[in-house]
Structure 1
Amino acid sequence: MRQAKIYYNTLFSDLLTETNDGDFTFKYETEYVNKYTGNFITFTMPVRVQEYKSTRVQRKAFVCFFLKA
């Protein structure tokens, strides 16, 4: 399992996790959802309470974070 810290500029939004099965999960932290509803990480992942889960990740948005983690 790998994890990467995800930021919108300097605002921490939460962790992107790659599971051992190769799935990706991401959930905006509660404080971020309450304060920054307009600051979404990518157009396909608007700020919401529910977790995002996918078998692939949009590389343009996240690949640099895995390299830094």
Structure 2
Amino acid sequence: MNDVKVEVYRSHPGVLTVNVKLQRWTSQDFTTLPQNEVLKSKIANTIGLAVSEFLHKSSERGG
């Protein structure tokens, strides 16, 4: 199973930085990624969820 780990933080005022770590990926995964809608969707959804959670937590803290 391919793992997509995302770290989101505020690097400067008004700037969010997103680090994406792809773990347990094979060279075959990367070779087929441009045509692999499932993996592209997984990456995009994971990034979107992480950013949404970060913004939600920031608004709760008043930041």
TM-score, scaled to structure 2? 0.35
Larger relative contact order (C-alpha < 8 A, sep ≥ 6)?
2
Structure ID, larger Rg? 2
TM-score, scaled to structure 1? 0.34
